[in-house]
Amino acid sequence: MHFIEAKTILTPQNGMNLYRGCTNHCIYCEARNRLYKEDHAFTDVSVKQDGCILLENMLKRKRTPCMIQVGMLADPYMDCEGELGYMRDCLKVIERYDCGIVIRTKNANILRDLDILSAIQKKTKCVVVVGLSAADEELSRKLEPEASGVAERIRIMNALEKNRIPCILSISVIPFLNDTEENLMGLLDIAKDTHVYGIEHNDCSIVLKKGSREYFFQELERRFPQKALLFARQLEQQEILSSPDRKKLLDILNAYCREHAIVIDQEILKRYKRTYENKTMGVQLSFSNIL
């Protein structure tokens, strides 16, 4: 980990990148592609040391509050956040400026901040996207070794439900590694039992571009040596890797979600994450009417 002085912390689309690079070591990580031109190793996380001040300055200048998206280039709750607490400081600013937030994580460190996430959800909208791609602990450790284990991620999802914070389960389906019906059903049962709002599935495919691709094949040899040959024969040249059982898996996903009232339409989920809500607007209006 190293600290940098940055000039900005929000992208034009309101993506917040407090950390760049990640230590979860997910085999299918697409952020490795987005950051492969950086001058440091992906796991040598760069930390914006004045991130909280930058954020406050940027939110001050915004005319209207917005949804802020966190977690596209790093898990904001990876181990270093446990020590630094920078994400917590940023959440306090986001809450103060009445913004909403979408956080992607695989780490139970997020439970520390449930109080602020609940406060944001009460005023506007807080959505947590929990990534989980295997229902079995051993397989999960091979796919996402430094993320929290399956039981811990279920604990996050239960805590979100208890605090009425909407959760979306994000599943990465990787051909030959976790694309079995048994694994999918295990994940769907977790989604149902924790009452998630929706499920993201990226069309039961992963995208491997430069940076992500080299890491995937290097780790495939190391973590799944017996499966490497299947890729060499069938999928090594492709940028989008889809399960040979993709259609069957999508049918199962759609039917299960319809039966259990889980949102599975990917466009609806995208819109839901982008749409800002202000739950206190009615109160503010009636207040100004009185005055």
For ligand SF4, the binding residues (CB under 6 A) are: 22, 24-26, 29, 31, 74-75, 106
Closer residue to ligand SF4 in complex, CB, 75/81: 75
- R_g over Cα of the chain: 20
Do 29 and 22 touch, CB atoms closer than 8 A?
A: yes
We find the least distance from the C-beta atom of residue 201 to ligand SF4, in angstroms, to be: 15
We find the least distance from the C-beta atom of residue 92 to ligand SF4, in angstroms, to be: 24
Do 206 and 30 touch, CB atoms closer than 8 A?
A: yes
Beta partners for residue 4, in sequence order: 48
Please, which contacts does 215-222 make with residues 24 or more away whose CB atoms are closer than 8 Å?
215/27, 215/29, 215/32, 215/42, 216/27, 216/28, 219/25, 219/27, 220/27
Closer residue to ligand SF4 in complex, CB, 14/140: 140
Closer residue to ligand SF4 in complex, CB, 209/279: 209
Closer residue to ligand SF4 in complex, CB, 29/159: 29
Burial class (CB in 10 A: 0-12, 13-18, 19+), 145: middle
We find the least distance from the C-beta atom of residue 32 to ligand SF4, in angstroms, to be: 7
Closer residue to ligand SF4 in complex, CB, 203/251: 203
Indicate the SS3 state at residue 159: helix
Chain centre to alpha carbon of residue 16 = 13
We find the least distance from the C-beta atom of residue 123 to ligand SF4, in angstroms, to be: 28
Distant-in-sequence, close-in-space partners of 11: CB < 8 Å, separation ≥ 6: 17
Eight-state DSSP code of residue 6 = -
Chain centre to alpha carbon of residue 190 = 17
Closer residue to ligand SF4 in complex, CB, 124/212: 212
We find the least distance from the C-beta atom of residue 71 to ligand SF4, in angstroms, to be: 7
Closer residue to ligand SF4 in complex, CB, 25/223: 25
We find the least distance from the C-beta atom of residue 67 to ligand SF4, in angstroms, to be: 19
Do 66 and 98 touch, CB atoms closer than 8 A?
A: no
We find the least distance from the C-beta atom of residue 72 to ligand SF4, in angstroms, to be: 8
| Residue 210, both tokens | 């430069």
